[in-house]
Chain A
Amino acid sequence: MSSGPSGEPLLAVHDLCLERGGRELFRDLSFEVRPGHLVQVDGPNGAGKTSLLRILAGLSRYGFEGRVERHSLLLYLGHQSAVKALLTPRENLAWHVAGESAYGDTEIEDALNKVGLYGYEDVPSHALSAGQHRRVNLARLYLSRSALWLLDEPFTAIDKGGVAELEKLLVEHVQRGGAVVMTSHQPLRVAYQVTMLSLTDGLPA
């Protein structure tokens, strides 16, 4: 097993409070995410998981109290796959608007291969299924050089084998010194310590 979380925090959250529609979703939420952290945000529908992730990513900039410090490049995968139907999977990744890094052709082929899209590299994406769109998006994880991953429901529309692959990838990433904050309703089946952040019961220890 790897060493536990250590090192400088990649993300620090101080006294976060969020109110939506007159209801307090969470208050005084403070935590740090360090290299080696695998954090699963848990809570019923409407608990504010997606809102929290959008605040962490910096997409929501108003309407909450508290402070978020980001100390590394981050990769955010939201509900929408950001895959252009008119571009092929290869073009989607090569010209990705997230601007994380410039990928080589073989890197992209490798990544698409790993998400099970071998042979689909140059097929227009509108010919792919919804699950395959998600997989094109997940290929970004294999290419990513960002230390911090923020994943909103990454398992949606992914088959069982894909979920297992993805869990393996997440563990590899945190063992390499990255960190993951993700939302999911399914418990993660990984041989790694998962830090739970429950939005109903308050804060993790």
Chain B
Amino acid sequence: MSAPAEAPATGAFCLALLRRQLTLAARRPIEIGNPLLFFAMVVALFPLGLGPAPDKLAGFAPGILWIIALLSNLLTSETVFRSDFEDGSLEQLLLAPQPLFMSVLAYIGAHWLTTGLLLALVSPVFALMINLPGQAIGALVASLLLGTAVLSLVGGIGAALTVGLKRGGMLISLLILPFYMPVLIFGSAAVQNAVLGTPAVPYLAILGAMLCLAIALAPLAIAAGLRISVDA
């Protein structure tokens, strides 16, 4: 008789997926570097465009930093499932006996670790480049940590829906940009308030609430999107 068929536990499977995705990312360091490079380039352009007056730059800094973070996330969100769709791994993932909800979270988690987390960690350097006041740096890092996680989850929905299309780039922006807006508003508001010396915590709390909601709901949408994309 055939050996008893037991699939590995969901936790172990998700850890293996996470490790796989991180290894893949580490073997393509250029793809990890791209969003950071984009961030650096755009930040460097602002003083040239707006004029180098430090006060003026400091006023715009929270908004500038958050908008660039959002755009660099948008640039990478398309690639989350792309290569797995092209080589057939995605089909296999959908057939896995483990819940797709958790596998999808592992994918998005790996994406966030290689984009949002790194971006948040290096953001203080960019913040100094455009003269963001020092007392706001903590709020910037915290808001980026929470906010980029929401962006990765929401971006994953767009990626899942458009993965079957040859050129999904523009469509994905149209689909998910509206959902990025609240994150941008509260994220930059947190930094703005820290600059003014008023508490940033309420805004961070709202970002945290958004993250909870996104963790609970986005994987459902991503899983459904992937099933539709593979079925078509």
**What DSSP secondary structure best describes chain A's contact surface?**
loop
A99 contacts partner chain B, Cβ-Cβ < 8 Å:
yes
A45-67: contact bitstring with B at CB < 8 Å (1 yes, 0 no)? 00000000000011111110000
A153 contacts partner chain B, Cβ-Cβ < 8 Å:
no
When the two chains form the complex, which single residue of A76, A86, A101 contacts B91, counting CB atoms closer than 8 Å? Answer: A76
When the two chains form the complex, which single residue of B13, B91, B95, B96 contacts A80, counting CB atoms closer than 8 Å? Answer: B91
Minimum distance in angstroms from B104 CB to a CB of chain A: 12
**How many inter-chain contacts with C-beta < 8 Å in the A-B complex?**
106
**What DSSP secondary structure best describes chain B's contact surface?**
helix
Return the chain A residue nearest B13 by Cβ. Answer: A99
- CB-based contact B2/A145 at 8 Å: yes
A100 contacts partner chain B, Cβ-Cβ < 8 Å:
yes
Q: What's the Cα separation between A60 and B91 when bound, in Å?
A: 10
Interface residues on chain A, number (Cβ under 8 Å): 39
Q: Which A residues are CB-close (under 8 A) to B231? A: 59-63
B52 contacts partner chain A, Cβ-Cβ < 8 Å:
no
A76-B91, A81-B88, A87-B20 known; A99 and B5 CB under 8 Å?
no
When the two chains form the complex, which single residue of B20, B89, B227 contacts A91, counting CB atoms closer than 8 Å? Answer: B20
- CB-based contact A95/B5 at 8 Å: no
- CB-based contact A87/B5 at 8 Å: no
Q: What's the Cα separation between A95 and B87 when bound, in Å?
A: 15
Q: Which of B1-42 contact A (CB under 8 A)?
A: 1-8, 12-13, 16-17, 19-20, 23-24, 27-28
B176 contacts partner chain A, Cβ-Cβ < 8 Å:
no
- CB-based contact A79/B5 at 8 Å: no
Q: What's the Cα separation between A136 and B131 when bound, in Å?
A: 54
A61-B231, A145-B2 known; A95 and B91 CB under 8 Å?
no
B198 contacts partner chain A, Cβ-Cβ < 8 Å:
no
When the two chains form the complex, which single residue of A76, A98, A176 contacts B2, counting CB atoms closer than 8 Å? Answer: A176
Minimum distance in angstroms from B161 CB to a CB of chain A: 16
B114-146: contact bitstring with A at CB < 8 Å (1 yes, 0 no)? 000000000000000000000000000000000
Return the chain B residue nearest A10 by Cβ. Answer: B2
Name 20 interchain pairs, CB-CB below 8 A, sorted by A: A59-B95, A60-B231, A73-B97, A76-B92, A76-B95, A79-B88, A82-B89, A85-B87, A86-B23, A94-B16, A95-B19, A95-B23, A97-B92, A99-B7, A99-B96, A99-B97, A100-B96, A101-B6, A102-B8, A102-B16
